[in-house]
Every structure is written in C-alpha cells, then in structure tokens.
Structure 1
Amino acid sequence: MTRYLLRRLGSLLVLLVVMTAVVYGIFYAIPADPAVLVCGKGCDGGQLASIHHKLGLDQPITTQYWHFLEGLVAGRDYSSGPDVSHCAAPCLGYSFQTDLPVLSLIAQRLPVSLSLTAGALVLWTVTGVALGLVSALRERRLTDRLITVFVLGGLGTPVFVSGLLLLMVFCGWLRWLDFPVYVPLTEDPAGWARNLVLPWLTLTILQSAIFTRLTHTGMLETLSEDHIRTVRAYGLPERRVIGRHALRGALTPLISINAVEFGAVLVNAMLTETLFGLPGIGQLIVQSSNNVDLPVVAGLTLTAGLAVVLANTAADLLYAAVDRRVVLT
C-alpha cells in the first residue's frame, strides 16, 4: 500500500507541473502582450516599458515561468504592488482589473462553490443510489419504468433548463421559495440551506440520473454473480444479501465515476451559479473572461485543474482501500 501511495503521489506532482506549464503557456506565453491589457488603449512606450518591468515580461520566458512557479509555491508580497520580484505570501497572481491578489478573490468565492457542490454531492449520491437500487430490485415493473423515465429526462435536460423550470415552478407558480440569495452558513444555517435548495436540485437532477443508471446496471451485474448465488444458498436473509454483499460490489465503481464526473460537475456548477446569481467561482470566471483578466482566469483554471487532479487521486486511493487487488497491479 505504501508503494502504491508513493507512486500515486509522484504522478500527482508530475501532473501538477505539466498543468502549470500548459496554463502558463496558454495564458501568458501564447497570447498578445499582457502589458497592453493592463495599460489599456492610448499607452505610450514609457508606460508599457514600466508595466513590462513590473510584471517581469522583460525577462526570458524561462525566468518568467520560474517566477510563476515561485509565486504558486512561495507567493508574492503585494505591499509594494504587483511586482514579481517580491515573494513572501502564497498567491496565484495579481488581477489586471481590480489590482487584488487572485488568491484573495478565489478565497472570497470558494465557500459559495463548496456549499453548492458539497450539498448537491450528498443529494445526488443518496438519490441516485436509492433509485438505482429500487429499479434493479423491481426490474420490468412499473416502478422501474417510472425511474427509467426520470433517468432519461434527467440525462436529456441541460442544467440551465432544469434550473429555469425549478425557478418557474417553486418561485413563480407555487411561490414556496424566494429567488435564492446566498447567506453564509455561519450567519444563518437555515437561511443558507433554504436559499441553496433550488441550486442543489438543479445539479442533482442530472447527476442523480447518471448515478441511478450506474447503480441499476451494477446491481444487476452483481446479483447475477456466483458468490451472490452462493450466499443465498446458505440461507442468508435477502436484505442482508442485498445490503452487505450485492450493494457493496455495485457501489465500488461509483467511486471512480464520481472522480471522472468531477470536471463536468464543475462546469455545471458554473452554469448553476450564473443562473441563480450565486457569487461563487463560476460567476467569477465568467466575469473575468468577459474582462480578459488573464491572471484571474489562469488562477481559476489552475484551481479547477488542481481540484480535478486531487479528486481523481483521492478516488484512486479510496478505491485501493476498498478493493485491495488494485494495490497489487
């Protein structure tokens, strides 16, 4: 297990280095002069030269990339402005539009995105597993057919469409809920949950449909295996056979599926935040992209990439802990 862990951590570090090189090349080396974006129209040569020096753009590309990595690991001291030569506190760059550290901008928005994705993750996992289990145990019956209709509808409905429908039904026609306005969890837990119900449901509809289909297929395959027939032949109660033996085998692949779907979840969360006006990471990346704020977009891209890599690494380790055969490969 220790060798497997070290091997996974080593591949994680390699992936992170490659990711930083790709992000730096896309956002800083390939595009037009970033100093022009900072200075704006009507800049003279002296102003551009000053910005070039302050941003370190007058140095070789390898030196610029090294300062970029240094800023990610050691950080930059912003007490004297966005000067790449000062490194003291962790950072992800310096916004062209607001002159604020990118890390502070992300830190302000991160609790909103974590609240959205964490709550939706619990809902779609519980809902998807429960519906998939019921569908597999009642195959070809009315319950199974109704769940199949839900799966097809969930898979075929984009996030922004389901979100609009939920707003129309619960905020417009029924008037059970007001339009969501994010409230921090520490200030009002009840208000925090109430205002995130519709965003949670918006993400849950699609993801729970995926988990329902996977759980249904996994349960049918597991129930047809020899060890399940053997357990039943010993006379164990059906509830114990399903809960202790069949369900465990069917849920193991969902660990990897959760990691694979994490990238799609981030995209859907961005659409959901924009639709409901939640001040999260998704709304920040849309605003930064519209303003061509390269440091913020690059920092958010690195943050999202890091989240996906860590999610896949955590899934691999958890899968290895559940299935010991993975460690031996």
Structure 2
Amino acid sequence: MTKFIVSRVLFGILVLFLLSVFVFFLFYVTPSDPARIIAGDKATEELMAQIRMKLGLDQPIYVQYLRFIGNLLHGDLGYSYRSNLPVADLLLSRIPVTLSLVFGAVILWLAIGIPIGIASAKHPGSVRDRVGQAFAIVGISFPTFVLGMMALYLLYFLPSKAGLQLFPPGGYVPFVDDPLGWAWHLALPWLTLALVVAAVYARLTRGQMLEVLGQDYIRTARAKGLTERRVTYTHAFRSAMPPLVTQLGIDIGLMLGGVIVIEQVFGLLGVGSLAVTSVAMQDRPVVIAIVLLGGFFVVVSNLVVDVLYAVMDSRVRTAGR
C-alpha cells in the first residue's frame, strides 16, 4: 500500500513539474512585455529597463525558470503586476470562498443526484424512472449562469419586491465570523451548482446501477432472501461506486481551481473571479499561480481517488506495483 501511494505521489509531482514548465514558457516567452504592462504605455525605455532588471527579465530564459521554480518551492509566488501585493496573499484571501462554495455544493449534489439515480435504476421504465431521467436531461442542458439568474430572480428579486428577503443576492460572510450568515449567503450558489452537477451524478448512478443489478451475484443475493434494501445498498451500490468516486475526484479538483461562472453570477470573490480579473488585466504572476493551484488540486483529488480505489479493490494495489 505504501509503495502504491508513493508511486502515485511521485507521478503527481512529475505532472506538476511539467505543468510549471508549460505555464512558464506560455506566459514568459510570449511577445508581450511585462515591463510595459507594469509601467504603462507612456513609460520611458529607461524605466522599463529598470523594471526588467528588477524582475530578472533581462536574464536567459533558463535562469528565469530556475529562479521561478526556486521561489515556488519556498512558497514565493511573486507579486501582482497590478496591485503589487504578494500573489500568495491574494490566493489565500480567495481560497476560503471557493472551498466553501465547492464543498457545500458537493454535499448537496451527492444528496440529490445519487438517490435519484438509484431510484430510477430500481424501477426502470416507471414514472419514477422517467421523472429521474427528465431531471438529468434538464439539469445537464441548463447552462449554469441561466440557472443562477433564475434562482436570483425567483428566490431573491421577486420576494424582495413583496417585502420579503428569503436569500441575499450574493456576497460572502466568513464562517468564523457568522456560521449562519455564511450558509445563508451561499445557499443560492450551492443550490445552483448542485442542481447542475446532480443531474450528471443521477444519470451516471442510474447507468451503473442498471448494469450491476443485472449481474448474477445480485440475483443470487435475492434468492438467498436478503432484503431489497441490503441488496441495493450493500451489494449493488458498492459495486457501482468506483466510477462515481472517479467522477467526484475530477469534479472537485477542477472546481477548486475556480468556479468561474457561479462566482461571477453571485458576486463571490473567490479564485474564479480572481482568474477572470487577472486574465483581463494581463496579470501574469496571478494567472500562473491560479493555473498551478488548479493543477495541484486536480493532482491531490486524483491521488485521493487512487487511494480509495486501492482500499476498495486490492487488485488496484497489485497493478500499481
């Protein structure tokens, strides 16, 4: 087990290294001049030369990359070209918002999507199944920003016109300051994100459960007199879990890199909104840090998935040796 985990960790480090090489050359070998971005269009050549020297842009490209990696290993992500603030501080101020949004939505979409998928698979062709499939199709087809705007209109704007405030329009309250206010402000973003992703999990769960429920060992379990609940959850759902775990790891890793649309719709100042602003302002150090942060989350989530696979199935551990 230890050897298996070590091999996966080393592979993740290799992936992050390759990502750093790609990101560095993508942003630092482009024709645009960072000194011009920092100094402005009316800056003199002497001023831009001083900025290039201060940033080390006048050195060979391999020297710049080695310095970049060295600073990265020490936790130094550089300074924002626009705000002149440490990039690490900018990320640390935004990560709690994105973490709160993603993990709250994860709980909701699992609580919604998996039961719908199981109910559909247990009664194929029934009204319950058709309703579940309709939910999956509508949820997958709806763009996230449309659902977010509808939620704001129906649950904030219309009640506010009637003198009621069921939910706030957006914003974020830190959990440590006000736990109830934290949940209240994130309720609509959670619901919007969860409904869209829950549709995917409902469809995936239904497909996996239908395949598993048709297996011989399920018929044998029923023939032995086991209750339908035990057959469904102890035997069938356990066998259907691996694809769900894989999808969950991918979704969490990608979303922790920034839930851009939801954060923009609800005015949440998370990693996604920081990415949009930084790209628009050509703030390279911030964009590079966000890309690497997203890659780190993806690698970590996939490592967790691999470990869960190894725990559930010993053949995975054997194959990884």
User: Which amino acid in the other structure matches residue 322 of structure 1?
Assistant: M
Segment of structure 1 superposing worse, 254-263 or 38-47: 254-263
Equivalenced residues, count: 314
Which position in structure 2 is the counterpart of 1:2?
Answer: 2
Does the 8 A contact of 1:203 with 1:268 survive in 2? Answer: no
Which position in structure 2 is the counterpart of 1:73?
Answer: 73
Segment of structure 1 superposing worse, 194-203 or 308-317: 308-317
Aligned-partner Cα distance in 2 for 1:275–1:31: 33
The alignment status of 1:300 with 2:290, answered yes or no, reads yes
User: Which amino acid in the other structure matches residue 132 of structure 1?
Assistant: G
Q: C-alpha offsets along residues 65-94 of structure 1, whole Å, 9 cap, x if unaligned?
A: 0010011102xxxxxxxxxxxxxxx22121
Does the 8 A contact of 2:109 with 2:198 survive in 1? Answer: yes
1:116 to 80, 101, 106: 101
SS at match of 1:185: coil
SS at match of 1:182: coil
Tell me by how many angstroms 1:260 deviates: 2.8
Report the TM-score when normalising by structure 1.
0.92
Go from structure 1 to structure 2 and tell me whether the alpha carbon gap of 1:266 and 1:111 turns closer, same or farther (over 3 Å shift).
Answer: closer
SS at match of 1:328: helix
Aligned-partner Cα distance in 1 for 2:41–2:157: 45
Does the 8 A contact of 2:80 with 2:286 survive in 1? Answer: yes
Segment of structure 1 superposing worse, 207-216 or 37-46: 37-46
Structure of higher RCO (CA pairs closer than 8 Å, 6+ residues apart): 2
Tell me by how many angstroms 1:27 deviates: 1.2
Does the 8 A contact of 2:257 with 2:295 survive in 1? Answer: no
User: Which amino acid in the other structure matches residue 152 of structure 1?
Assistant: I
Tell me by how many angstroms 1:154 deviates: 0.3
Structure 2's unaligned 5+ residue stretches are: 161-165
Does the 8 A contact of 1:203 with 1:269 survive in 2? Answer: no
Tell me by how many angstroms 1:252 deviates: 2.1
Which position in structure 2 is the counterpart of 1:166?
Answer: 151
Segment of structure 1 superposing worse, 110-119 or 4-13: 4-13
Does the 8 A contact of 1:288 with 1:297 survive in 2? Answer: yes
Which position in structure 1 is the counterpart of 2:189?
Answer: 199
Q: Superposition RMSD on alpha carbons, in Å? A: 1.4
Task: Trace 1:145-160 onto structure 2 (pairs within 5 A).
Answer: 145-160=130-145
Does the 8 A contact of 1:159 with 1:268 survive in 2? Answer: no
Q: C-alpha offsets along residues 121-151 of structure 1, whole Å, 9 cap, x if unaligned?
A: 1111121111111111122111111111111
Does the 8 A contact of 1:129 with 1:212 survive in 2? Answer: yes
SS at match of 1:261: helix
Aligned-partner Cα distance in 2 for 1:5–1:312: 11
Segment of structure 1 superposing worse, 296-305 or 173-182: 173-182
Aligned-partner Cα distance in 1 for 2:45–2:318: 62
SS at match of 1:167: helix
Which position in structure 1 is the counterpart of 2:87?
Answer: 102
2:266 to 276, 283, 294: 276
Q: C-alpha offsets along residues 233-271 of structure 1, whole Å, 9 cap, x if unaligned?
A: 221122111121111111221111112334653577211
The alignment status of 1:55 with 2:55, answered yes or no, reads yes
Does the 8 A contact of 2:253 with 2:299 survive in 1? Answer: no
Which position in structure 1 is the counterpart of 2:163?
Answer: none
Does the 8 A contact of 2:258 with 2:273 survive in 1? Answer: no
